[in-house]
Amino acid sequence: MRSQSLALLACLLLAGCMSKSMDVLQIAKPSGETTSSVRPSAPVPSGDTVAAVLEETATEQVAVAAPRPPEGINALALAATTRPDTIIPAPRPAARAVPPKVGPVQRHRFRDAKPINFGKYKPQNYPVHGVDVSRWQGDIDWVTLRSQGANFAYIKATDGGDHLDPMFKKNWRGAHEAGLKRGAYHFFYWCRTAGEQADWFIRNVPRVEGALPPVIDVEYNGESNCRFKLSPARVREKMRVFLDKLEAHYGQRPIIYTAPDFYKDNLEGHFLNHPFWLRAVAQHPSKVYPGRNWVLWQYSGSGLSHGVKGKIDLNVFYGTEKQWRTWIGGQTAVAAN
């Protein structure tokens, strides 16, 4: 009878523990927002429950702002600096001993369905042009696109915490085989935790030698099911979680892509030690983002090129051919997965 009573007591205690565990799991359940029927074949890694709760309740960490560089200093030097905030980054992989091979710069031959007169400081003044693509460009002839002046390509990889662009793997392979410098970008969702989004990107984007730094795309999304507008401080807090996690994994400081309205509301005067990729399709970035240094400028969303059916986004690198090679050579070496 005594042993039976002890056994019964143990079962009751075990049932109570299981019940409490299930309550915690339900609290940590991610939102159901998705953008397509593409689903991962296994559960999306979202970190442990405690980490997710801490991320959502932590207040914004205050960074020690680095002094703004003198006028005329571009983002090439800025991108190599270390952000002096309170987060201690994970050790980076050893630096590359031999700079990666960079093919010859192809002069751009792109056209534009909606050409803009940018005045004195026009995109054509920059020698290194590139593109960004997603599923909407369909099947791309990468060899032809390269011959038209695409020296680099940023490829849409992921959205939120559960969507993989169905053309990512094919585009990732095709751009590399055609000799373009390639990188991947993530479209950020504001109703998903930053940690699970970083995990999803890391799960789907290979860590390979010579890849361009990863990109976080932050902008307003009118088609999203998420209707919450976060405070600017909360926006920056979530971005830091994502950026720090990617930097620790890839050994490269991620680039921030943004648009004028989102930048003005949330980013102006912040992230001074991160490289920026700026959308400015009517004026030069110096007019749209006064005082902000940049590495990449997206100057058109209506580009036309052989090798692509329909329109394509066009971009330039801020610098000369020599600076392009220096920037590529300065990226941190990483080991392939």
Residues 6+ apart with CB under 8 A from 266: 218, 232, 235, 236
Q: Is the distance from CB of 295 to CB of 318 less than 8 angstroms?
A: yes
Closest CA to 127 of 331, 276, 324: 324
pLDDT digits over 203-233, tens only?
999 999 999 999 999 999 877 788 778 999 9
For residue 148, pLDDT beyond 60: yes
pLDDT at 22 over 90: no
pLDDT in tens, 173-207: 999 999 999 999 999 999 999 999 999 999 999 99
Max Cα–Cα distance, the chain, nearest Å: 94
DSSP string, 133-172: E-GGG-S--HHHHHHTT--EEEEEEEETTTEE-TTHHHHH
> Is the pLDDT reported for residue 255 higher than 80?
yes
Q: How far apart are CA 254 and CA 29, in angstroms?
A: 28
CA distance 214 to 157: 10
User: What gap in Å lies between CA 149 and CA 262, rounded to an integer?
Assistant: 30
Mean residue pLDDT across the chain? 77
What pLDDT digit, counting tens, does each position of 291-329 carry? 999 999 999 999 999 999 999 999 999 999 999 999 998
Catalytic status, residue 219: yes
What distance in Å separates the CA atoms of residue 209 and residue 231, rounded to the nearest whole number? 37
Q: What global pTM score does this model have?
A: 0.73
Q: Which of 55, 56, 219, 321 is catalytic?
A: 219
State which fold the 128-329 domain adopts: TIM Barrel (3.20.20)
